[in-house]
A and B are shown apart, each in its own frame.
Chain A
Amino acid sequence: MPFDWKSDGRTLLLLTAAFIAALSIPFGAPRFEGSLHEAFALMQWYAREHVVLCLLPALLIAGAIGVFIGQGSVIRLLGAGANKVVAYGIASVSGTIIAVCSCTVLPLFGGLYKRGAGLGPAIAFLYSGPAINILAIVLTAKVLGFELGAARAIGAVSFSVIIGLAMAFLYRHEEQDRNGSSMVGEMVLPEDDYSFPTGVVVALFALMIAFLVFANWAPADPKDNTLWHVLFTWKWSLASLSAAGVALVLALGLGFVWWRVALVAATVTTLAIALPDQPQAAVAGGVVGLCVVAALQPGAGQEWFEQTWGFAKLILPLLLLGVLAAGFLLGRSGHEGLIPSAWVAAAVGGNSLASNAFAAGAGAGAFMYFATLTEIPIIQALLGAGMGKGPALALLLAGPALSLPNMLVIRGFLGTEKTVVYVSLVIVMATVTGMIYGTYWG
């Protein structure tokens, strides 16, 4: 068989790379071995602390959003004739319910720009999406702390409006020319397949979110903050009540087969009583049970299960790789990875203008190649290695908004000039916000 440069060439290249790696990786070196250990230690910490109580319930909520909340009706509010104030408001927060996967966000951005509410709201939507989708909020708050999670959500929403307005202002003349010329035809919106009473849907989400919040309630110093501490001691009672509420909504409101729901509830209760020190067992039982019950329920239930699995399949492998990479390069808090902590502290420690600008600019450049949600383990590792809180927020606000797929689409629709303006706006604003945050809460 002749040597095919395209396929054989690639194989040859891979083999050569593997050979060079095997030849030259310093396996005996303490720093290298320590980094490998850190990678797996960090992975284990995630597996023990975050997956069952936080990530799995959040995935179920994300899946439920896709099925039970009518996204078409939200997008309709962003149509061409939309009221500007409403359009900016909706665009800046609608990422919570729409933007879990970039394959749905990017065309929507183009649609909003070309035949919807225009450049400003489209930019606002694109900017806030990666930061305020339910998985990002939940995981940021759980891994990086409630304060940084809240700062990220608030920062992203207010930023998105400001950057959207700035872009719309800078290009106001073009917007006027564009209006009226290219508006042809109607938007085709996804029709909502299932209509459940609003009260049932609100109850379902309120109870699922309540469960997630209580199950992850962080311990507090008993002397420091009494309400916080009291809630902590009651956390499993409150979480159990919420879970029972979810079961009731499923059986009575959504018409799930009641004896299946009851069977799952009984299993979870048994696990909770049998293993009182291992709440993860009961929660895992509940998650698996809910998935089985949903998958067996034709219609909305089945779709819920499929959406949840779709997100899990998309996000979990990338998150695993992100955690391993973060552990390998930076190590856990108090341990060193491949990159010395002193370098991290020198580049992004403290809260100086240089640290914040470096985090927003250089960090964002590096983040272009990371997938959604992997920013969280990486920032956690950076914080452990000595990054300041201000620069961490700057990186959180700039990084995901400037991901490579985002950039390519923006450039495709808006051209290079507007893309450069957008990137500069994001970096400057992230730097300023990081400094403010670092000064008051750092």
Chain B
Amino acid sequence: MVDFKILGSGCAKCLKLAANAETAAKELGLPYTVGKITDQDQIIDVGVMMTPALMIDGKVKSSGKVLTPEQIKALLT
């Protein structure tokens, strides 16, 4: 089970990142969950300075950009 968390205020870029993460997991046939962290304090507490950021299984994998499904697949394999 892959656990995605999208960190960000909920702007268009965050939604795109969430959609890309889902696409990546589906294409690899992995079961997944997608969660959101929108609280600024929590985002900062994990150290993220620029949103949107992507967390996979509790680890921050990228920040400040919208990864493509291909880039996310590379992180999953």
Q: Whole-angstrom distance from the CB of A295 to the nearest CB of chain B? A: 14
- Which of B9, B40, B51: most chain A Cβ within 10 A? B40
Encode A178-222 as 1/0 by CB contact (under 8 A) with B: 000000111111110000000000000000000000000000000
Question: Once the chains are docked, how many angstroms separate the CA of A183 from the CA of B47?
Answer: 10
Q: Whole-angstrom distance from the CB of B30 to the nearest CB of chain A?
A: 24
Tally of chain A residues near chain B (CB < 8 A): 26
Given contacts A189-B63, A190-B64, A190-B65, contact A107 B40 (CB under 8 A): yes
The answer to whether the Cβ of B23 comes within 8 Å of any Cβ in the partner chain is no
A413: chain B residues within 8 A (beta carbon): 40
Partner of B40, one of A72, A104, A110, A112: A110
Q: Are B50 and A186 in contact (CB under 8 A)?
A: no
Instruction: Report chain B residues within 8 Å CB of A188.
Output: 46-49, 53, 60, 63
Contact B48 A111 (CB under 8 A): yes
- Is there an interface contact between A115 and B46, defined as CB atoms closer than 8 Å? no
User: Nearest chain B CB to A111's CB is how many angstroms away?
Assistant: 4
A71 within 8 A of B: yes
A72–B64 alpha-carbon span in the complex (Å): 9
Contacts of B62 in A (CB 8 A): 190-191
Q: Which of A89-142 contact B (CB under 8 A)?
A: 103-104, 106-108, 110-112, 114-116
Interchain CA distance A76-B48 in the complex, whole Å? 12
Contacts of B8 in A (CB 8 A): 103, 107
Q: Could you tell me if B49 and A75 are in contact, using CB atoms closer than 8 angstroms?
A: yes
Set of chain A residues within 8 Å of B47, measured between Cβ atoms = 111, 115, 185-188
Q: Is A409 an interface residue (CB 8 A)?
A: yes
Cβ of A412 under 8 Å from chain B: yes
Min CB–CB distance A323 → chain B (angstroms): 23
The distance in angstroms between the C-alpha atoms of A191 and B43, with both chains bound, is 17
Whether B49 and A412, one on each chain, are in contact in the complex, defined by CB atoms closer than 8 angstroms, is no
Contact A187 B40 (CB under 8 A): no
- CB-based contact A111/B49 at 8 Å: yes
Determine whether B28 belongs to the interface, using a CB cutoff of 8 Å to chain A: no
Q: Verify A103–B11 contact, CB threshold 8 A.
A: yes
Q: Given the interface contacts A71-B64, A190-B65, A409-B40, does A107 sit within 8 Å of B48 by beta carbon?
A: yes
Give the complex CA separation of A187 and B62 in angstroms. 12
Q: Is there an interface contact between A106 and B50, defined as CB atoms closer than 8 Å?
A: no
Q: Shortest beta-carbon distance, A79 to chain B, in Å? A: 10
| Interface bits B1-45 vs A (CB < 8 Å: 1, else 0) | 000000011010100000000000000000000000000110111
What residues of A have a CB within 8 angstroms of the CB of B40 in the complex? 106-107, 110, 409, 412-413
* CB closest chain-B residue, reference A193: B65
Cβ of B6 to closest chain A Cβ, rounded Å? 13
Q: Knowing A115-B47, A187-B49 touch, does A106 contact B9 (C-beta < 8 A)?
A: yes
Residues of chain B within 8 A (CB-CB) of A111 are 44, 47-49
Q: How far is the CA of A75 from the CA of B45 in the complex (A)?
A: 17
CB distance from A37 to the nearest CB of B (A): 34
Closest CB in chain A relative to B53 CB, distance in Å: 7
Q: How far is the CB of A411 from chain B (nearest CB, A)?
A: 12
Hey, which chain B residues are within 8 Å of A409, CB to CB? 40
Residue of A nearest to B8 (CB): A103
- Please indicate the chain B residues that have their CB under 8 angstroms from the CB of A310 in the complex: 13
What are 10 of the A-B contact pairs (CB < 8 Å)? A75-B49, A103-B13, A106-B9, A107-B48, A108-B50, A111-B49, A187-B47, A188-B47, A188-B49, A189-B50
Q: A107-B50, A188-B49, A190-B65 are in contact. List 12 more A-B contacts (CB 8 A).
A: A103-B51, A107-B8, A107-B44, A108-B49, A110-B40, A111-B49, A112-B49, A115-B44, A116-B49, A184-B45, A189-B50, A413-B40
